[in-house]
Amino acid sequence: MIVYLRILKESFNFAINALRNNKLRTFLSLVGVTIGIFSIIAILAAVDSLKREIEGSMSGLDNSTIIVARFSFGPTDVPRWKREQFPDVTYDEYQYVARNVPDVEAASYTLNVPNETIKYEDKQVDNVPIGAVTEDYYNIEALQLSAGRFFNAAESNSGAPIIVLGYQIAQELFGGSEQALGKKVRVYGRKFTVIGVLKKEGAGLFGNSKDTTMWMPVNVVRRIYGANNPSTFPQIVIKPEDDVDNEEFIALLKQQLRLKRGLRTDEIDTFFVNQLQGFADFIDNITGQMNLIGLVISGFSLLVGGFGIANIMFVSVKERTNLIGIQKSLGAKNKFILLQFLFEAVILAIIGGLIGLFLVFIVSILASQFTGDFEFVLSPWNMFIGTAISAVIGLISGILPAISASRLDPVEAIRTGM
């Protein structure tokens, strides 16, 4: 063990000397490794950060959650022209599903509507997302309140003029959650009474967050927008009970919706049943493909870097031929010479890799600042991958120069060096 530590120490010193004595040559040799590691880790970190944001934005929803709409959240075999003819899901269909489909833990009718401005006295917050939902959505997404309550079934059905605010909205308008309760705010030119404030959640995907959202009964929004308004996107969100077979549940759900719409057996479904698990799998597939493409592209940089490391090691062997001959004449074994040059190649490659990781770290800080709420994260696992790849590149690039150095004849090596 002491011998190997001594080899490692000497190889590190040789590598540092190579950097000092041949700065330009070493720099050019390590550029490929640095760029390659930077590219790979930057891509991995970007994809991981994007995936983390997507998963975080869906964290309140169970993977078994089902969303019924006229759009598919993933690839579909239904032609686009036919999909565009599908009708929106209706409030009556939501009520029908809630009454007739068994094993439903919670069901909600939601409308995706344009953002609005909310005002309180002389204060206002612009471009606020609206959660137009029925009362059960509180249980589907496991919303948590810091003050007050969510609206109940009677208020939802009647379309009562009440509202639940996200944490940040309450802070901007009232300075706190408790201060917001009972206050009347103005949205759509109408007055709504604040009955609850959600707990602070933090930033979500691309800046979206429950903190910056306001929630109100869907029926009050339906009255404002009217029926069949193209600017709304209705959905039925369903959470099955925990012990239910999802395939059987979806089959029964489709059967009931087909019955409600009066579809014949030879007609296709005029709606899509989207499951979050399928959406999560779709996201995993997309991010996996992005990673693969990025790795292939970055691999070319690493290939160039590997040739650069091999080149500098062959030059190093030639420059130290005399020293190798002296070492072998003094009893140094081939393994000692082999490991010495291998360690040196690995150390040089790791130095290039660490420079690449440092650049990714700097870029991640700048990216997080310029993208606002999107957090670009360089994880310890990605740092480990970068270091490991650097070491492997150094090992592969240094193996041939190290073998050639270990096989030198000591007499010839000394004579050549002289």
- For 115-165, write each residue's pLDDT tens digit: 999 999 888 999 899 999 999 998 888 788 999 999 999 999 999 999 999
What would the mean pLDDT of 237-260 be, rounded to a whole number? Answer: 89
How do residues 216-246 score in pLDDT, each as one tens digit? 999 999 999 887 777 888 999 998 888 888 8
Predicted pLDDT of residue 187: 94
Of 42-56, 146-160, 295-309, the range with the highest mean pLDDT is: 146-160
What would the mean pLDDT of 58-84 be, rounded to a whole number? Answer: 77
What would the mean pLDDT of 100-108 be, rounded to a whole number? Answer: 90
What would the mean pLDDT of 294-311 be, rounded to a whole number? Answer: 72
Pick the closest to residue 196 from 212, 177, 210, 209 (CA basis). Answer: 177
Residue 183 · residue 174 · CB < 8 Å: yes
- For helices 334-370 and 321-329, give the axis angle rounded to 10 degrees: 130
Burial label for 362, CB within 10 Å (0-12, 13-18, 19+), is exposed
d(C-alpha 231, C-alpha 228), whole Å = 9
Predicted pLDDT of residue 183: 92
Predicted pLDDT of residue 205: 39
Residue 168 · residue 208 · CB < 8 Å: no
281 vs 360 pLDDT, higher one:
360
Which of the four pLDDT bands, split at 50, 70 and 90, describes residue 91? very high
Residue 341 · residue 408 · CB < 8 Å: no
pTM for the model: 0.59
285 vs 252 pLDDT, higher one:
252
> Out of 10-14, 278-282, 308-312, 365-369, which region has the weakest mean confidence (pLDDT)?
278-282
Pick the closest to residue 397 from 294, 302, 300 (CA basis). Answer: 302
Predicted pLDDT of residue 154: 93
3-state secondary structure the chain: CHHHHHHHHHHHHHHHHHHHHCHHHHHHHHHHHHHHHHHHHHHHHHHHHHHHHHHHHCCCCCCCCEEEECCCCCCCCCCHHHHCCCCCCCHHHHHHHHHHCCCEEEEEEEEECCCEEEEECCEEEEEECEEEECCCHHHHCCCCEEEECCCCHHHHHHCCCEEEECHHHHHHHHCCHHHHCCCEEEECCEEEEEEEEECCCCCCHHHCCHHHCEEEEHHHHHHHHCCCCCCCEEEEEEEECCCCCHHHHHHHHHHHHHHHHCCCCCCCCCCEEEEHHHHHHHHHHHHHHHHHHHHHHHHHHHHHHHHHHHHHHHHHHHHCHHHHHHHHHCCCCHHHHHHHHHHHHHHHHHHHHHHHHHHHHHHHHHHHHHCCCCCCCCCHHHHHHHHHHHHHHHHHHHHHHHHHHHCCCHHHHHHHHC
Q: What percent of the chain has pLDDT over 90?
A: 24
First-to-last C-alpha distance (Å) of the chain:
34
Residue 164 · residue 139 · CB < 8 Å: no
How do residues 354-387 score in pLDDT, each as one tens digit? 888 888 888 777 776 765 555 666 777 778 877 8
- Tokens representing residue 49 in the block: 């950060």
Predicted pLDDT of residue 204: 46
What are φ and ψ of residue 176, in 5° steps?
175, 165
- Tokens representing residue 243 in the block: 């012990």
Where are the domains positioned within the chain?
Answer: 2-57+282-417, 97-239
How do residues 194-219 score in pLDDT, each as one tens digit? 999 998 876 543 345 788 899 999 99
Predicted pLDDT of residue 151: 94
5 vs 399 pLDDT, higher one:
399
Q: Has residue 40 got a pLDDT over 70? A: yes
d(C-alpha 96, C-alpha 98), whole Å = 5
Contacts with 248 (C-beta within 8 Å, 6 or more apart), sequence order:
none
The Cα-based distances of 285 to 152, 246, 289, 301 in angstroms read 39, 21, 6, 25
